[in-house]
């Protein structure tokens, strides 16, 4: 029945290849890629072997990037321009393999273009410092200078499914801006978008040894990717379990780990309930609720909780969902049927434990309706663990202390949103929440692509992403000193 819907505006079947050693390499063994909405197989990608991993590192290391700042900026600017020209094709591909709605995938392309734009600007900016040395009685007539250098080995980038192109862009663009070499292993659920983006960058002038893309089964190639002697840094975005596994295997090499979240939207009793509910539903349903910084818990002052819930329910009922290619739908599917079943089971468990279902909770394959529950308690799996889908669990508090304790009461520490106008309380939340970001009157996911981004506790080690911070972690800072005067 789903095939009778609107015309599905995308290409025919894609039998893809690795981007390895400057060539497109096919392999006999392949992995299927599915359209989560129709369940149809839409492409295949090769299963790279451990030997392929080794070959990619050798090829990358045989090349020493020498692009000037101007040349790096030009590649990134051209990539941004090409992407804007091909917005529809890029967004179609994301929607095809991820089930994200066209609204969400178009938005993602705008973000990717921003990443390239910021990386181009940052490539032109030299953040070198200089220090006088005659600052103390035993000083000398010298100056100390700093300069940033690319990493001596390869950067391995491993990305999740939830933003098929933007996650990749956040790893690759800062690497290009700093003259590094990357081997990318995209999510096996959405590899087609990553390959498409790599081709766009080659077309924009990126030398092949600076970016290779290996698709495959992580059980087979992950260890070779993480622990190969030619790897200097592993940058990973994904779930906590795999992030901690990478940390345990990486040994004496740098890791940047951007892991899961369980972000609250905290609504105080002075808040405009409708404005807060607006943020709540956007934070909960955009990208099908599959953002590390999606609103995963709504913590609301008990005195306004019923009014807030009513608004959230109205807005949830108006949030259209279904065929992701139908422009009338704001939300498409989640990544696959298995994920949708997990949300369904967790919501059932919460209802059995005393939560009240207010809207949604219907599943059809990988489609899961935007769902609202209240009377949710912190011990329910739905909010104790990260629920990576379009669910709005409403919990209540009676004091600011309790709101802060609830917010801090999970192993995660990624981001947060606060709805209040009280300056004294804003300062308390900024100081006392154990998170990487506090957004006042915004969703936890609010950021620009340039600014520092990342979590603490189980959400990350505190090393940030965002174009500027990623460029710092992708470089070694060298000092040199000269006689002066």
The residues carrying an active-site annotation are 258, 292
- For β-strands 130-132 and 142-150, DSSP reports them as antiparallel
User: Would you say 161 or 321 has its CB closer to ligand NAD?
Assistant: 161
**Nearest approach, Cβ of residue 456 and ligand NAD (Å):** 11
Query: Can you tell me which of 112, 222, 315, 366 binds ligand NAD, judged by CB under 6 A?
Result: 222
Q: Which is nearer to ligand NAD, 283 or 455 (CB)?
A: 455
In whole angstroms, give the CA distance from residue 321 to residue 331: 4
CB of 78 to ligand NAD, least distance (A): 27
| Among 36, 43, 209, 238, contact with ligand NAD (rule: CB under 6 A) | 238
Least distance between ligand NAD and beta carbon 218 (Å): 3
Q: Which CB atom, from 324 or from 455, has the smaller least distance to ligand NAD?
A: 455
Within residues 34-63, the interface with ligand NAD by CB under 6 A covers none
Minimum distance, C-beta of residue 278 to ligand NAD, in the bound complex (Å): 23
Q: By CB under 6 A, is residue 245 in contact with ligand NAD?
A: yes
Question: According to CB under 6 A, which residues from 175 to 194 bind ligand NAD?
Answer: 185, 187-188
Out of 280, 292, 372, 406, point to the residue binding ligand NAD (CB under 6 A). 292
Applying CB under 6 A, does 288 fall inside the site for ligand NAD? Answer: no
The residue (of 91 and 162) whose beta carbon lies closer to ligand NAD is 162
Contact status, residue 251 vs residue 283, Cβ threshold 8 Å: no
Nearer to ligand NAD, 159 or 420 (CB): 159
Cβ neighbours around 422 below 10 Å, total: 15
Contact partners, residue 156, CB within 8 Å, separation at least 6: 182, 183, 185, 225, 226, 231, 233, 234, 235
Nearest to 154 by CA among 235, 79, 85: 235
C-alpha span between 58 and 283 (Å, rounded) = 43
Q: Which stretch binds ligand NAD (CB under 6 A): 23-31, 41-49, 254-262, 354-362?
A: 254-262
Confirm or reject binding of residue 162 to ligand NAD (CB under 6 A).
Answer: yes
Give the binding-site size for ligand NAD (rule: CB under 6 A): 26
Q: How far apart are the first and last CA of the chain?
A: 81
Name the residue nearer to ligand NAD (CB basis): 319 or 453: 453
Check binding of 390 to ligand NAD (CB under 6 A): no
Instruction: Collect all residues with Cβ–Cβ distance below 8 Å to 365 and sequence separation of at least 6.
Output: 36, 37, 39, 333, 337, 340
What is the closest distance, in whole angstroms, from the C-beta atom of residue 481 to ligand NAD in the complex?
A: 38
Q: Which residue is nearest to ligand NAD (CB)?
A: 238
Q: Which residues bind ligand NAD (CB under 6 A)?
A: 158-162, 185, 187-188, 218, 222, 237-239, 242, 245-246, 258-261, 292, 386, 388, 414, 455, 459
């Amino acid at each position: 029945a789903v095939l009778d819907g609107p015309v599905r505006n995308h290409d025919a079947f894609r039998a893809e290849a690795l981007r390895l050693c400057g060539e497109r390499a096919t392999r006999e063994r392949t992995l299927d890629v599915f359209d989560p909405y129709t369940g149809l197989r839409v492409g295949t990608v090769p299963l790279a072997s451990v030997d392929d991993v080794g070959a990619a590192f050798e090829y990358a290391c045989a090349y020493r990037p020498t692009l000037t700042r101007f040349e790096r900026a030009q590649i990134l600017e051209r990539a941004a321009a090409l992407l804007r020209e091909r917005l529809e094709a890029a967004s179609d591909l994301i929607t095809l393999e991820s089930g994200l709605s066209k609204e969400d995938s178009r938005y993602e392309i705008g973000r990717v273009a921003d990443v390239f734009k910021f990386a181009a600007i940052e490539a032109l900016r030299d953040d070198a410092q200089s220090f006088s040395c005659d600052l103390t009685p035993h000083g000398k007539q010298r100056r100390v200078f700093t300069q940033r250098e690319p990493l001596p080995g390869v950067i391995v980038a491993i990305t999740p499914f939830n933003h098929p192109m933007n996650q990749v862009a956040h790893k690759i663009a800062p690497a290009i801006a700093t003259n590094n070499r990357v081997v990318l292993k995209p999510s096996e659920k959405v590899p087609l978008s990553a390959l498409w983006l790599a081709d766009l960058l080659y077309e924009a002038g990126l030398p092949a040894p600076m970016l290779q893309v290996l698709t495959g089964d992580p059980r087979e190639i992950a260890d070779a990717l993480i622990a190969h002697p030619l790897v200097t840094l592993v940058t990973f975005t994904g779930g906590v379990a795999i992030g901690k596994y990478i940390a345990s295997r990486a040994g004496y090499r740098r890791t940047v780990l951007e892991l899961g979240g369980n972000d609250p939207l905290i609504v105080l009793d002075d808040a405009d309930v409708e404005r807060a509910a607006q943020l709540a539903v956007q934070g909960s349903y955009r990208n099908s609720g599959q953002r590390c910084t999606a609103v995963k818990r709504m913590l609301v002052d008990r005195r306004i909780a019923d009014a807030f819930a009513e608004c959230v329910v109205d807005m949830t009922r108006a949030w259209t969902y279904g065929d992701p290619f139908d422009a009338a739908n704001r939300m498409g599917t989640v990544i696959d049927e298995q994920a949708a079943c997990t949300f369904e089971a967790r919501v059932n468990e919460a209802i059995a434990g005393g939560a009240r279902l207010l809207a949604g909770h219907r599943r059809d394959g990988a489609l899961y309706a935007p769902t609202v529950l209240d009377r949710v308690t912190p011990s329910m799996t739905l909010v104790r663990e990260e629920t990576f889908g379009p669910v709005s669990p409403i919990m209540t508090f009676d004091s600011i202390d309790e709101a802060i304790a609830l917010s801090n009461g999970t192993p995660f520490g990624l981001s947060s949103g606060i709805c209040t106008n009280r300056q004294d309380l804003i300062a308390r939340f900024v100081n006392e929440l154990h998170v990487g970001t506090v957004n006042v009157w915004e969703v936890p996911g609010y950021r620009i692509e340039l600014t520092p981004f990342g979590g603490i506790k189980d959400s990350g080690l505190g090393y940030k992403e965002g174009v500027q911070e990623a460029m710092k972690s992708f470089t070694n800072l060298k000092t040199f000193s000269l006689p002066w005067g």
